[in-house]
């Protein structure tokens, strides 16, 4: 018995544990109910009476040493834990960089915001469309050259299915299921089969607005256009309208704004004219209203549409359209401060 206790005393003296699990295993081995020391305690009653005193002292010594050792190891681990979690409150915060909004998103949101304040609500539709919503419902005749003019992507196996060439398709989708007053703004991506260069891309973004109600006139359109131009490009901005042609509006116009780079004096950007073209607009052709189930004798309306890339170019002088889709961080980071 004495020999056994001495052996355990030596063991306990050199106890080592490298982690909390090992320490717990040691505690169970020596100090638990079924541990080595308890076993000895149980055997104590079998010790001869004359040895009881000596064995008792040694046994207590062993138990105390084991408890002290294990407590000491435990404290050591706890100290280490605290050490690794030590916090330096004077250190500057880890720089978590927020992403930036894409310039097209910034400008799109600004356009939506301006029209939102005029009571226009957002409408969206599918990018993969059918011929009806992209062309026929918008007064494009079956053999209308504009179908070619817009360089449409047709799906080969399904000639009726196209990638929308303009967001006007959303207008026809809204008109066919609702009656005036309709006041919507349709932002979205459109596709055209064009060779990619610094000034053309096979996809770009548009925002169109549509307002249909009783007694809507060209004057209403002009007023909204002027307000939009001033909000978007500054209070000094002037607008001018030039007659144009679109299948879905009659009369149609294109709007120029006074060049916001030279203030109208003339510069290379405006080709020294002092004006830059920014959008197309017009009164909704009665044929379009009728094709979409709206009585053109009661209602009239205006529509306008612009390329978001075009507006972004004017605001930020982006010279190459391809920059918008290349995800070059150096380019995107330039817009960190914009919003």
Binding residues for Mg(2+): 250
Q: Which residue is nearest to Zn ion (CB)?
A: 259
Q: CA-CA-CA-CA torsion for 326, 329, 330, 332, nearest 10 degrees?
A: 80
Binding-site size, Zn ion (CB under 5 A): 6
Query: Of the listed pieces 136-144, 219-227, 229-237, 267-275, which binds Zn ion according to CB under 5 A?
Result: 267-275
Which listed range, 82-90, 156-164, 207-215, 252-260, lies at the site for Zn ion (CB under 5 A)? 252-260
Q: State how far the Cα of 317 lies from the Cα of 322, in Å rounded to an integer.
A: 13
- Minimum CB separation of residue 286 from Zn ion in Å reads 38
| Structure tokens, 242 | 């030039």
Least gap, CB of 199 to Zn ion (angstroms): 17
CB of residue 141 to Zn ion, shortest distance in Å = 38
210-239 binders of Zn ion (CB under 5 A): none
Torsion of the alpha carbons at 49, 52, 53 and 57, rounded to the nearest 10:
180
Residue 262 touching Zn ion (CB under 5 A): yes
Quote the least distance from Cβ 269 to Zn ion, whole Å: 5
Q: Which of 261, 271, 298, 320 binds Zn ion (CB under 5 A)?
A: 261
Closest of 319, 325, 121 to residue 205, by C-alpha: 325
DSSP designation for 247: T
CA pair distance 180, 114, nearest whole angstrom: 21
Residue 315 sits in the site that holds Zn ion (CB under 5 A): no
Q: State in angstroms the smallest separation of the CB of 187 from Zn ion.
A: 27
Instruction: Sort strands 275-284 and 249-258 into parallel, antiparallel or unpaired.
Output: antiparallel
C-alpha span between 300 and 207 (Å, rounded): 21
Q: Which of 172/313 has CB closer to Zn ion?
A: 313
- With CB under 5 A as the contact rule, which of the stretches 80-88, 115-123, 254-262, 282-290 interacts with Zn ion? 254-262
Query: Residue 237 or 249: which CB sits closer to Zn ion?
Result: 237
Sole binder of Zn ion in the list 36, 259, 283, 304 (CB under 5 A)? 259
267 binds Zn ion, rule: CB under 5 A: yes
List, in sequence order, every beta strand (DSSP E) within the chain: 121-122, 128-130, 154-155, 158-163, 182-191, 203-213, 239-246, 249-258, 275-284, 300-307
Contact partners, residue 106, CB within 8 Å, separation at least 6 = 312, 335, 338, 339
Residues from 270 through 289 that contact Zn ion (CB under 5 A)? 270
Say whether residue 146 binds Zn ion (CB under 5 A).
no
Which chain residues interact with Zn ion by CB under 5 A? 259, 261-262, 267, 269-270
């Amino acid at each position: 018995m004495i020999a056994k206790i001495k052996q355990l005393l030596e063991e306990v003296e050199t106890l080592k544990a490298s982690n909390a699990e090992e320490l717990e295993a040691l505690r169970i081995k020596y100090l638990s109910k079924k541990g080595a020391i308890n076993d000895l305690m149980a055997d104590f009653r079998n010790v001869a009476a004359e040895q009881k005193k000596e064995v008792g002292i040694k046994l207590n010594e062993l138990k105390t040493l084991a408890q002290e050792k294990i407590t000491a190891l435990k404290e050591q681990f706890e100290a280490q834990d605290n050490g690794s979690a030590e916090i330096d409150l004077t250190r500057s915060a880890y720089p978590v960089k927020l992403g930036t909004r894409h310039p097209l998103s910034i400008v799109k949101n600004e356009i939506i915001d301006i029209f939102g304040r005029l009571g226009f609500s957002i409408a969206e539709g599918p990018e993969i469309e059918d011929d009806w919503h992209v062309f026929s419902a918008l007064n494009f005749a079956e053999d209308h050259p504009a179908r070619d003019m817009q360089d449409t992507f047709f799906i080969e196996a399904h000639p009726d299915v196209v990638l929308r060439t303009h967001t006007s398709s959303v207008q026809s989708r809204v008109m066919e299921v609702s009656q005036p007053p309709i006041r919507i703004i349709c932002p979205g991506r459109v596709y055209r089969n064009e060779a990619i260069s610094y000034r053309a891309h096979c996809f770009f973004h548009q925002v169109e607005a549509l307002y249909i109600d009783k007694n809507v006139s060209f004057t209403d359109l002009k007023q909204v256009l002027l307000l939009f131009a001033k909000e978007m490009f500054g209070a000094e901005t002037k607008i001018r309208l030039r007659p144009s042609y679109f299948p879905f509006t009659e009369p149609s116009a294109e709007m120029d704004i006074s060049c916001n780079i030279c203030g109208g004096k003339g510069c290379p950007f405006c080709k020294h004219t002092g004006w830059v073209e920014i959008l197309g607009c017009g009164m909704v052709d009665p044929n379009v209203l009728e094709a979409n189930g709206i009585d053109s004798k009661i209602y009239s309306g205006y529509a306008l549409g612009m390329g978001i890339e075009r507006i972004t170019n004017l605001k930020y002088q982006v010279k190459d359209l391809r920059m918008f889709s290349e995800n070059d961080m150096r380019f995107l980071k330039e817009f960190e401060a914009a919003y």
